[in-house]
Amino acid sequence: MQATELLFEIEIKPPLKGSRQSANAVYVQLKNAILDGRLTLGAKLPPTRSASHFFGISRNTAGDVYEKLEHEGFIFTRHGSGSYVAHALPLLSSPPARLDPPVSGQHRVNPFWMRTDVTTAMNFWRDSVGSPAPPRKTPPTDFRPVLVDSALFPFDLFRRVSATQLRGLQKRPSSHRSLEGNQGNHSLRTAVSRHIAVTRAIVCQADDIIVTSGAQQAFDLLARVLVIPNETVVAFEDPGYPPMRVNFAAAGAKLVPVGVDAEGLMVEQLPKDVGIICVTPSHQFPLGITMSLRRRKALIEYARTHGAIIIEDDYDGEFRYDAGPLEAMRSAEAADVVFYVGTFSKCMLPALRLGFIVAPDWLMRTLITAKNCLDWHCSTPVQRTVAGFIANGHLSRHVRKMRAVYKQRRNTIFELLRGDLRTWLDEIPSLYGMHVAVTAPESVDLEAATAALLRHNVRMHTLRRYFFGPETRRGLILGYGSADPTQIHRGLSLLRKVLQR
């Protein structure tokens, strides 16, 4: 029997004659074989019938074990064909376990949301479990990435635009009855198309844009429309942004980590059956690398050849420091394969929850149908206010101002890194955005260092939580969206002291 041969080959032993294995013992054997690589990614498992003979358990029990492995993301089932080891599912490097499901009478809920890797990924902003609570007296210094300095946001202008726009809303308050309206406020889409033409050299029309509730909803929308459950393979940069992986895992995709080198995503590592490739070409998240032109071309070529599409997450592309803006990957030539995701969380405020997708026209109507199902459309007052804010030139002025502010902070960090800190930390060049990453040799205990910093109310992430494949790099993220130069000096001098110990 072929199926049994496979189990022998990977050193899963049949039980002794007469003994019967429990479901849990079988589950543990199979899971360990997957985790330690004896069962290779994509390998076909024996049918439940053969497995039940082999392990001396009932076919129903074998089915339960498979179902548990599937719910936890270790295996997937192809209709009429069988069960396979997932290509790589854990969203984080830790193997997923399941929390106790919430209980009320007999009702069962979708176990996906109880997976520890899922809850950990969605708790991305939290301090590590078991970390001490930071002291309340010390003023906080926050080096976590993806924060912005909202103290510098022109709230007075925003308020003024908001009042004007609410007057406009009074005249035309209609909602969710037209497909076009649900694609997003037309004046906002027009304003966005002009804004990204200037800042990102993207040539598109209002009709190519769909407005979303931040980049997070953009990922969710794309995952739900583009992923065929248990079939579509999605490649992510590793390290990368864990919450985004949850959107695709929730939609039933098979997730594959792909390494990043000095030129960006390593295209040669992409699996042949990849359907979706998620990248941060301007400013790799979290390493801060800008993808080389050569690599960009290779990536688009790869996607075209393999029938895949590319999702370009351009979360901080407005903030380029050392030259004029480099084009986005979503150029006119790549408009058919690249989905460009932009956000107002970095260039304005995360609290607005507003982002957008520049999508190929072959999928726009389908995206609108799905967006209708999600929540019809984004809140009209906010959409109108941001539209007015952009149209009045406030956004360009704010971006210009913040570019100077953030550039100074980045330079402060680089200066400090080139001092004593060089002993422990190597900088990774960074041209864009609001954070830089540094790497460290294994001898430096970064987890202990960040835990020590937290006791002084300095919050800093190590790279660990960004990986879901093997942890190939050890390092720190130094976000300067929220930390001003004084805080940067304080935080990095504390870091030096901690590392000296």
How far is 186 from 147, CA to CA, in rounded Å? 29
In angstroms, give the least distance from the CB of 12 to a second copy.
19
Find the part of the chain contacting a second copy (CB under 8 A) among 129-137, 188-196, 228-236, 281-289. 228-236
The nearest distance, CB 173 to a second copy, in angstroms, is 4
CB of 209 to a second copy, least distance (A): 17
Among 239, 275, 317, 491, binds a second copy (CB under 8 A): 275
Maximum C-alpha span of the chain: 81
Q: Which two tokens stand for residue 125?
A: 């902003």
Stretch in the footprint of a second copy (CB under 8 A) among 12-20, 196-204, 223-231, 323-331: 223-231
Amino acid at 100: D
2 binds a second copy (CB under 8 A): no
Kindly tell me the number of DSSP H helices and DSSP E strands found in the chain: 16, 16
Among 20, 365, 400, 497, binds a second copy (CB under 8 A): 365
Minimum Å gap between C-beta 243 and a second copy is 7
Among 1, 28, 97, 109, binds a second copy (CB under 8 A): 109
Residue 99 neighbours by CB distance under 10 Å: 12
Cα–Cα distance, 65 to 431 (Å, whole number):
49
The DSSP 8-state label assigned to residue 378 in this structure reads -
* Binding letters toward a second copy, positions 143-162, x by CB under 8 A: -------x--x-x--xx--x
Q: Is 351 in the site for a second copy (CB under 8 A)?
A: yes
Residue 320 DSSP code: B
Q: Does 111 bind a second copy (CB under 8 A)?
A: yes
- Coil, strand or helix at 12: coil
- Residue 224 as a binder of a second copy (CB under 8 A): the answer is yes
Stretch that binds a second copy, among 7-15, 284-292, 371-379, 423-431 (CB under 8 A): 371-379
| Contacts (CB under 8 A) with a second copy, residues 44-83 | 48, 59, 62-63, 66-67, 70, 77, 79-81
- Contact pattern from residue 286 through residue 325 relative to a second copy, giving x for each residue in contact according to CB under 8 A and a dash for the rest: ------------------x-xxxx----------------
Taken as a whole, the chain contains a residue count of 501
Helix (H) or strand (E) segment spanning residue 2: helix 2-9
Is 312:338 a contact under the CB 8 Å cutoff?
yes
* Residue 400 binds a second copy, judged by CB under 8 A: no
Q: Report the distance separating Cα 496 and Cα 139, nearest Å.
A: 19
* Cβ 252 to a second copy shortest distance, Å: 8
Torsion of CA 355, 356, 357, 362, to 10 degrees: 150
Binding-site member from 206, 370, 405, 463 for a second copy (CB under 8 A): 370
Nearer to a second copy, 374 or 404 (CB): 374
The structure tokens listed for 110 are 């979708």
Q: Judged by CB, which is closer to a second copy: 240, or 499?
A: 240
Quote the tokens at residue 358: 């520049």
Measured CA to CA, the distance from residue 492 to residue 425 in angstroms comes to 11
365, 227 in Cβ contact below 8 A? no
Distance CA 399, CA 395 (A): 6
Alpha-carbon gap, residue 117 to 249, rounded angstroms: 11
Of 229, 419, 429, 470, the one binding a second copy by CB under 8 A: 229
For 201-222, b/e burial (b = at least 16 CB within 10 A) is bbebebebbbbbbbbbbbbbbb
Note whether 40 binds a second copy by CB under 8 A. Answer: no
User: Which of 433, 353, 358 is CA-nearest to residue 386?
Assistant: 353
Task: Give the total of residues touching a second copy (CB under 8 A).
Answer: 100
**Distance of closest approach, residue 325 Cβ to a second copy, in angstroms:** 26
Q: Binding residue for a second copy (CB under 8 A) from 29, 93, 116, 123? A: 123
The minimum distance between CB 263 and a second copy, in angstroms, equals 25
Binding to a second copy, residues 233-272 (CB under 8 A)? 243, 246-247, 250-252
Considering only the stretches 104-112, 191-199, 408-416, 430-438, report the one whose residues sit in contact with a second copy under the rule CB under 8 A. Answer: 104-112
